[in-house]
Chain A
Amino acid sequence: MHQQIPHESAALHVTGEALYIDDLSSSPSLLVGRVVSSPHAHARIASYDLTKAMKAPGVVAVLCAKDIPGHNQMGPVVKDEPCLASGEVSFVGQAVFLIAAKTDAQCRAAEKLIDVSYEPLHPILTIDEAVASNNLLGPARTMQRGDADTALRSVAHVIKGELRTGAAEHWYLESQASLSVPGEGDEMAVYCGSQHPSETQTLVAEVLGVRKKDVVVEVRRIGGAFGGKETQGNHVACWSALLAHATGCPVKVRLFRDDDMIMTGKRHRFLTRYEAGFDNEGILQAVKIELNSDAGAATDLSFAIMERAMFHCDNAYFVPHMHVVARVWKTNLPSNTAFRGFGGPQGMAAMESIIDRVARFLHKDTSEIRHKNFYGLNSNNTTHYGQTVEENRLPRLFDELMESSEYYSRRVTVQAYNAANEFTKKGLALTPVKFGISFTTTFLNQAGALVSIYNDGTVLVNHGGIEMGQGLHTKMQQIAAAELGISIDRVRVNATNTSKVPNTSATAASSGTDMNGAAVKNAIETLKLRIAECVAGMFNEKNPSLKTSKDDIRFESDVIFDSKHSERKIDFAEAMAQMVLRQVSLSSTGYFRTPGIGWDREKGVGTPFRYFAFGMAVSEVLVDTLTGATTLLRTDILHDAGDSINPAIDIGQIEGGYVQGVGWCTTEEIKWDDAGNLMTHSPDTYKIPTARDIPADFRVKLLENATNPNAIHGSKTVAEPPLMLGLSTWLAIKDAVSAVANHQIEPEFSLPATNEVILLSIDNLRGQMKARASKQVSA
C-alpha cells in the first residue's frame, strides 16, 4: 500500500500485447459495421431507399430506425436520443443507417448506394441563436445565498463581464469501438469501451428488445475516455449489437477518427455573464453569475454537468452573497457530454476571471486577492449551497506553493523582463482548485465487487469500475493485496463484466477508487472473517490447549498467523487449499455506498459531496506579442492526494490532467461552420498538446501529511481536479497580454487563448493605448 508500483498492464502496454477492441479477433464470420450519418444539422428525412445498398457486394445488412426490434432510444437519463434517426435529423453526424459487410471498403461502397433525401430545416448552431429563439432544454435553475442584488448596490466596486469558454474534444487515442457477438437464444455479448457497462447493458437490451439477463457487457481496458465514453460509449455498443442481432454474426464497429470527432459530443461551450462586488481590499461581497451551456441536440448529462458548474463557480472563494442562475440550451450539434471536470472547469473559469479582474482593477497581485478570498478554516467556510468546507487545505497549499515556486521573486523578475522587452512578455499566475467528490445524483454513489480466491492462493478481483488508464485496477490490486496480506503478483483484476458485478455506476466523478476500493475491501473483509474462523479452528485442532481466537488471526507477508502465538502460522496458499477441503466459500461480493451525503435539489442546499479535493498551480509563460505564440516556461503544482495509494499513478494523473487543461485553455479550438459541420474534425486542425507544449520546467508534488478521513486508506481521488489547474496557464497568458498595456487596461480574453485570441487581444490593447495617447495629446 502507498507504493509506486507500475501500472498493472505496463508490461503489456510496452510490448504491444495489451488488447483493445479493434485487436480482438473473433470468428471468420466477423463483419465490419459502419454508421451512416446525417449530413445536415437539421432536416426532415424525406425519403430513403436501401435496396441498392443491400445488394452491394459483401453487404449482409443495412438497417434503419424501423429495423430496431426494441426501443429506438439511447438517452441515458432523458429518452430524447434515438439510436437511429427517424423522421428528422437534428445534427450533422447523427446516425441514420447501419451497414454490415465483410470489409470496411464494402461498407463505404454500399453507403454511396443509399438513396436518401433530406428537406433541410433551420438549424440553431450557437448559444446566442438558442437564446434568441428561447430554445431551452429545460427550466432555468438557481442556487443562491444571501441577497446579491441588494449587496451589489452598497459595495465599493462592481465589475461586470462576459466570458466564453470553448468546446473541446476528448481525443482519447482509441476511438469509439465495440464488438458484439451473438450467442444462443437472446444472448448478446458486447466488448466495448464504455465507462458505464451497466448502462450499456441496459440500452443494448432495450434496443434489442431483450432482457438484461441475456446481455453481457465486458470492458477489459479503454484506450482513454475522459468522460467521452461515459454515455457516448453506449452508442457504438448499441449499433454493433443491432447489426450482430440482424446478421447473426459478430460485428465490430470502430469509428474512424473523423467520424468519431464529428459524431460524438464535446465539452459544453459556456457563455457566462457575471457581476461582482468587492471592497477596496478586493474582498468579494456579492457575485451574480449567469451560466449558459450549449447542450447540443439531446439531454445526455447536460443538467448534471450544469449542476456541477453551479456547484463550482465559487471555486475556492467565500462569497457572502452569491446568486447563480443556469440555463441549458438546445442546439443542432452533437449532444455534448461529460469531459473531465464535468462543468467544473467552466464554472471555475468564470470565478477565476472575476478574481483576475478584481486584482487588475485594484492594481494588486492576483495571488494576494485569491488568498484574501479563500474559504477560511473556521469561519467563512460554507459554500453557497451550504456545505461546510472541511479539511480545508487551501491555506496550507498556498503557503507551501508560494514558497516552493518562489512566486514573489519571480513576480519581480517577470516585471523587470516586461519592462525591458517590447515584443515578448512574460506572465505569471497562481490558481487553486477545490473540487467536490461524489456524484451529485446521490443514489449513484454505490459500488460492488466480487472477489474470488482460488485454492492455489491466487486472487481474482472483479469490481464495477473501468480501467481507462487512470490506474484504477492497479489500485484495486494494491488494496486487495494489502487487505489479504499477500504479494501483489497473486492478485489479478478481471475485465469489468456485467455478469460479475451488476447494476454499477459509471466510472466517473473521480469516484472510481474511493467507491470500488471500499467495495473490494468489503468483500475481502467477509472472506477474511470466514478464513480466520477456519484457520483458528485448524490451529486449535492441532493443539487444543492453546486457544486461537478468530480475532487474533492476521494476514501478512503471504502468511496467516495468530498474533498472540506467532509460531501458529500457515502459508497463505496452503491455507487456501485447506479452505476448499474444509468447505469454506472463497468467493464473496462486496458493496459500498457513500455515507453522509445528501442534498435538496429543489432548494439547492445540502451536502452533495463526501469531501473536497484541493490543488494549486503556479504557471509562467512567455508570449510573443507579434505572433501570439506562447511558451510554457515553468509550472509548479502542489496537489492534495491524501495518503496516496500509489504516488506514481497520482502524479501521472496530475501531470496528465494539467496538460489536458492546458490544451483546453490554449490550442484546442473547436469550430463549426455556418451549416453545423465540424471544421476541426481531425488532428490536422484540432490541436492537443504535444511533448514540447508541456512546461519546460514541470514540478509536481503531493501535499505531505494530508490524510483524508473520508476515503479508503486515507487517500484522496486525483482524476478530474488537476485539469482545472490548467487555468493557471490561461491566466498567466492573460497576465502577459495585459503587460502590453502595462496592466492599465483590461484585455479582451476568451478561452481557449489561441494565438489568434492573443494577437487580436493585443491588437485591441494597442489600439486603445494609441487612442488614449492621442486623447492625451489633444487634451
Chain B
Amino acid sequence: MKSSIAFVLDGKVVEIDFDRSSQLTPTTTVLNYLRGLPQHRGVKEGCAEGDCGACTIVVGELTANRTIEYRAVDSCLLFLPMIHGKQLITVENLQELSGKLHPVQQAMVDAHGSQCGFCTPGIVMTLFALYKGGSRPSKDEIGDALAGNLCRCTGYEPILKAAAAACDGQGRDHFSADEAGIAELLGSIAPDGISISTESQRYDQPATVNECLLLMEKLPDSLIVNGATDVALRVTKKFENLHHIIDCSRIAELRSVSGGDRSLTIGAGVRISEVMELVRNDFPGLYQMLTVFAARQIRNVATLGGNIGTASPIGDSLPVLMAYGAEIILRSRRGTRHVKADSFVQGYRKTDRQPDELIMAVMLPRPSASARIQTYKVSKRRDLDIATVSAAFRVDLDKQGMVSDITLAYGGMAAYTKRASSAEAFLSGKHWDRKQVEEAQNLIDKDFSPISDVRGSAEFRRIAARNLLLKFWSETKG
C-alpha cells in the first residue's frame, strides 16, 4: 500500500506524497490542484459542481492494448487520488512546441468561437476529446459532447462550427506521436492499492473486492465512492471534511461485464458513458434515458453503481431498472445476494443495502419480444438537468391486445422511486386503448402526492405524470 499517488502531467510522472504536502489533501480536487500550479491556470472554475464545464480537462488512460483513451471530465469533481496512474491533459498542453495551435484551437480561432474567453479553455478540451475520438461527429454528437460546457456569450453556433471543422475523423496530432512514450510512463506507475492517512482524513483505494469488503467491515463509518460525482459536491459545495473514503474506482471486478441470451450483467463501476454503449441496441429504454443523463464529462466518470447508491428519488436509472425488472447484486463478507430493483429503495435515500455491502453489479434480464418499454425525463432543460418527473414504463400485451403485465415506475413523484400501483392494477387485463388509459391517468393522482419544490410545483408534477402515461400509450399503441 502506498500513501502517494503518481500521474503524468506535462510529459512527466508527477508524484504527490500527501504526508509531505501541507496544501494538498486526498479530497483536494484536480481543479484546485491545477490552479495552484502557476503554469496551469488556464483551467477555470465556473461553478465547482459539474454544471458548467469551465474546468474540463482530458484524462488519458492506458487501455489493454497499450493505446491511450482520452476522456473529457470535470476537474472540479475529481479527487486527486482518482487520477493515479493516468495522464492529465490541460489546455496548456495542446499547442505544439513550435507555437502552432492544435487543430481544435485553430478551428476555434477561425470560427470566432470565443468572446469573453472564460469558457474557452474548457470548450477547447471538450473539443480535443471529441477530436481524439477519431470519428467525424454528426451535428447532434457535437451538441451532445458540448452539452456540459456552458457559454454565455457566443450562443454556441461558432463553437459547433469549429467542432465540425476540426474533427476530421483522424484525430492525429502531437499526442499521437507521443503516445507510445506516454503509455510507457503510465505503465511504469505501479498498480497497487493506495492508502492515504493524514491528520484528519483517510482515503483508501483498494485494488480488489476483497480488500474493499475488509475495509468496509473494519471501518463501518467510511464512505464509498466510485465516480464521486455525487459525493464530491459535499466537498466542493458544502465544504465538508470527509473523514474516511473508500474509493472503489480501481477495482477491476466492478468494471466487468458479462451476459448471454437471457441477461446482461453490468459491473457497478462501469461508467455511464460505457453503459450507454453496452445497452444501446438491446435496452433502448435505458439508453434513451442515459442520453439525457447529466453531460458527457459527468457520464465519463459517474457509474451505474453510484447512481443506484445515491438512491435519489430523482436519479435517472432506478425507474428504468424497475421497468426492465433488473436485479441489483450486493456482496459483503457474509455473502452475495440479489435484490429486485423495485424493492431496493425503501425510503428517502434509504436502501436495502447494508453498511457492509458493496453494490457489485446490475443484472438486466433481456426483455421479451412483446415487451414495450419507454422512458421519459421531464426536466426544465433537456441536457444536464435533473428530472422534475421521470418515468419508465413497460407493458406486455397478449395476442388480443390485453395488458398481461405492466410496470409504471416514476421518479420525482414521491420520496423515492415508486410504481403507480393502483394504475398498474387497473390496467392489468384491460385492453390497451385510450379510454382505459385515460381512466388510469386519474388513478395516478391517487398513487402519488408529489411535493412542490424548486424544480416544479406539485400540480405540474401531477399533470406531467398523468400525461406521461398517455404519451406512453400513444407511442406503443401501434
Q: Which A residues fall within an 8 A CB radius of B?
A: 4, 6-7, 9-20, 22-23, 25, 105, 108, 170-175, 221-226, 256-258, 422-423, 468-471, 624, 626-629, 648-649, 651-652, 655-660, 667, 669, 671, 679-680, 682-685, 687-694, 698, 700, 754-756, 759-760, 763
Min distance, Cβ B319 to any Cβ of chain A, angstroms: 15
Q: Across the interface, do B47 and A690 meet the contact criterion of CB distance under 8 Å?
A: no
Q: Across the interface, do B380 and A754 meet the contact criterion of CB distance under 8 Å?
A: yes
Min distance, Cβ A658 to any Cβ of chain B, angstroms: 6
* Interface pairs (9), CB distance under 8 Å: A14-B105, A16-B120, A172-B118, A173-B44, A225-B116, A680-B454, A687-B381, A691-B142, A755-B460
Q: Across the interface, do B471 and A6 meet the contact criterion of CB distance under 8 Å?
A: no
Q: Across the interface, do A174 and B118 meet the contact criterion of CB distance under 8 Å?
A: yes
Contacts of B463 in A (CB 8 A): 759-760, 763
Q: Across the interface, do A10 and B109 meet the contact criterion of CB distance under 8 Å?
A: yes
Q: Is B90 an interface residue (CB 8 A)?
A: yes
Whole-angstrom distance between the alpha carbons of A667 and B380 in the complex?
6
Q: Across the interface, do B152 and A627 meet the contact criterion of CB distance under 8 Å?
A: no
Ranked nearest first, the 10 interchain pairs of A and B with the lowest CB-CB distance are A16-B42, A469-B116, A223-B118, A13-B117, A659-B155, A469-B115, A655-B155, A683-B51, A16-B91, A626-B467
> Which residue of the partner chain, among A14, A471, A688, contacts B150 with CB atoms under 8 Å?
A688
Nearest B-chain residue to A13, judged by Cβ: B117
Contacts of A655 in B (CB 8 A): 154-158
Min distance, Cβ A312 to any Cβ of chain B, angstroms: 22
Given contacts A221-B117, A258-B237, are A690 and B105 in contact (CB under 8 A)?
Answer: no
Q: Across the interface, do B49 and A755 meet the contact criterion of CB distance under 8 Å?
A: no
Q: Across the interface, do A756 and B456 meet the contact criterion of CB distance under 8 Å?
A: yes
Q: Across the interface, do B456 and A652 meet the contact criterion of CB distance under 8 Å?
A: no
Contacts of B44 in A (CB 8 A): 20, 173-174, 223
Q: Across the interface, do A468 and B109 meet the contact criterion of CB distance under 8 Å?
A: no
Whole-angstrom distance between the alpha carbons of A175 and B152 in the complex?
12
Q: Is B188 an interface residue (CB 8 A)?
A: no
Q: Is B346 an interface residue (CB 8 A)?
A: no
Q: Across the interface, do B468 and A760 meet the contact criterion of CB distance under 8 Å?
A: no
Whole-angstrom distance between the alpha carbons of A687 and B52 in the complex?
10
Nearest B-chain residue to A103, judged by Cβ: B23
Q: Across the interface, do B156 and A691 meet the contact criterion of CB distance under 8 Å?
A: yes
> Which residue of the partner chain, among B42, B52, B144, B380, contacts A17 with CB atoms under 8 Å?
B42
Contacts of A759 in B (CB 8 A): 460, 463-464, 467
Q: Is B322 an interface residue (CB 8 A)?
A: no
Q: Is B189 an interface residue (CB 8 A)?
A: no
Q: Is B416 an interface residue (CB 8 A)?
A: no
Q: Which B residues fall within an 8 A CB radius of A?
A: 35, 38, 41-49, 51-52, 54, 90-92, 94-95, 101, 105-106, 108-110, 112-121, 124, 140, 142-144, 146-160, 237, 239, 295, 376, 378-386, 388, 454-457, 459-460, 463-464, 467-468, 470-471, 474
Contacts of B468 in A (CB 8 A): 626-627
Q: Is chain A's binding surface mostly helix, strand, loop or mixed?
A: loop
Whole-angstrom distance between the alpha carbons of A7 and B118 in the complex?
14
Min distance, Cβ A172 to any Cβ of chain B, angstroms: 6
Contacts of A11 in B (CB 8 A): 101, 105, 109
Whole-angstrom distance between the alpha carbons of A171 and B121 in the complex?
17
Min distance, Cβ A44 to any Cβ of chain B, angstroms: 29
Q: Across the interface, do B382 and A14 meet the contact criterion of CB distance under 8 Å?
A: no
Contacts of A657 in B (CB 8 A): 155
Whole-angstrom distance between the alpha carbons of A9 and B110 in the complex?
12
Contacts of A4 in B (CB 8 A): 112
> Which residue of the partner chain, among A257, A688, A692, A763, contacts B143 with CB atoms under 8 Å?
A692
Given contacts A6-B110, A14-B120, are A698 and B157 in contact (CB under 8 A)?
Answer: yes
Q: Across the interface, do A257 and B115 meet the contact criterion of CB distance under 8 Å?
A: no
Contacts of B115 in A (CB 8 A): 7, 469-471, 652, 656
Q: Across the interface, do B118 and A690 meet the contact criterion of CB distance under 8 Å?
A: no
Known interface pairs A16-B90, A422-B474, A756-B457; 16 further A-B residue pairs with C-beta atoms within 8 A, sorted by A's residue number = A6-B112, A7-B114, A14-B106, A16-B41, A17-B42, A469-B115, A469-B116, A626-B470, A627-B376, A655-B156, A660-B152, A667-B380, A671-B454, A684-B386, A691-B159, A755-B460
Given contacts A11-B109, A15-B105, A258-B237, are A692 and B383 in contact (CB under 8 A)?
Answer: yes
> Which residue of the partner chain, among B52, B150, B152, B155, contacts A694 with CB atoms under 8 Å?
B155
Q: Across the interface, do B43 and A683 meet the contact criterion of CB distance under 8 Å?
A: no
Min distance, Cβ A768 to any Cβ of chain B, angstroms: 15
Nearest A-chain residue to B112, judged by Cβ: A648
Nearest A-chain residue to B456, judged by Cβ: A756
Min distance, Cβ A311 to any Cβ of chain B, angstroms: 26
Min distance, Cβ B235 to any Cβ of chain A, angstroms: 11
Min distance, Cβ A717 to any Cβ of chain B, angstroms: 16
Given contacts A11-B101, A659-B155, A759-B460, are A685 and B112 in contact (CB under 8 A)?
Answer: no
Nearest B-chain residue to A624, judged by Cβ: B471
Q: Across the interface, do B43 and A173 meet the contact criterion of CB distance under 8 Å?
A: no
Min distance, Cβ A625 to any Cβ of chain B, angstroms: 8
Min distance, Cβ A733 to any Cβ of chain B, angstroms: 14
Min distance, Cβ A335 to any Cβ of chain B, angstroms: 21
Nearest B-chain residue to A658, judged by Cβ: B155
Nearest A-chain residue to B461, judged by Cβ: A756
Contacts of A652 in B (CB 8 A): 112, 115, 153-155, 158
Nearest A-chain residue to B384, judged by Cβ: A690
Contacts of B143 in A (CB 8 A): 691-692
Whole-angstrom distance between the alpha carbons of A694 and B151 in the complex?
12
Contacts of A755 in B (CB 8 A): 378-380, 388, 460
Contacts of A660 in B (CB 8 A): 152, 155
Whole-angstrom distance between the alpha carbons of A760 and B463 in the complex?
8
Contacts of B116 in A (CB 8 A): 172-174, 221-225, 468-469
Contacts of B160 in A (CB 8 A): 691
Whole-angstrom distance between the alpha carbons of A685 and B380 in the complex?
9
Nearest B-chain residue to A15, judged by Cβ: B95
Nearest A-chain residue to B118, judged by Cβ: A223
Contacts of A689 in B (CB 8 A): 155-156, 381
Min distance, Cβ B350 to any Cβ of chain A, angstroms: 22
Q: Across the interface, do B117 and A9 meet the contact criterion of CB distance under 8 Å?
A: yes
Given contacts A627-B471, A684-B51, are A694 and B157 in contact (CB under 8 A)?
Answer: yes
Q: Across the interface, do B112 and A7 meet the contact criterion of CB distance under 8 Å?
A: yes
Nearest B-chain residue to A25, judged by Cβ: B38
Contacts of A25 in B (CB 8 A): 38
Whole-angstrom distance between the alpha carbons of A627 and B158 in the complex?
30
Whole-angstrom distance between the alpha carbons of A223 and B48 in the complex?
16
Whole-angstrom distance between the alpha carbons of A4 and B101 in the complex?
20
Q: Across the interface, do B118 and A667 meet the contact criterion of CB distance under 8 Å?
A: no
> Which residue of the partner chain, among A624, A626, A687, contacts B385 with CB atoms under 8 Å?
A687
Contacts of B459 in A (CB 8 A): 760
Q: Across the interface, do A627 and B454 meet the contact criterion of CB distance under 8 Å?
A: no
Contacts of A10 in B (CB 8 A): 108-109, 112, 114, 117
> Which residue of the partner chain, among B35, B94, B117, B147, contacts A691 with CB atoms under 8 Å?
B147
> Which residue of the partner chain, among B48, B120, B471, contacts A13 with CB atoms under 8 Å?
B120
Contacts of A685 in B (CB 8 A): 454-455
Q: Across the interface, do A173 and B380 meet the contact criterion of CB distance under 8 Å?
A: no
Contacts of B48 in A (CB 8 A): 256-257
Q: Across the interface, do B108 and A14 meet the contact criterion of CB distance under 8 Å?
A: yes
> Which residue of the partner chain, among A7, A224, A656, A682, contacts B51 with CB atoms under 8 Å?
A682
Nearest B-chain residue to A174, judged by Cβ: B118
Min distance, Cβ A713 to any Cβ of chain B, angstroms: 20
Min distance, Cβ B162 to any Cβ of chain A, angstroms: 9
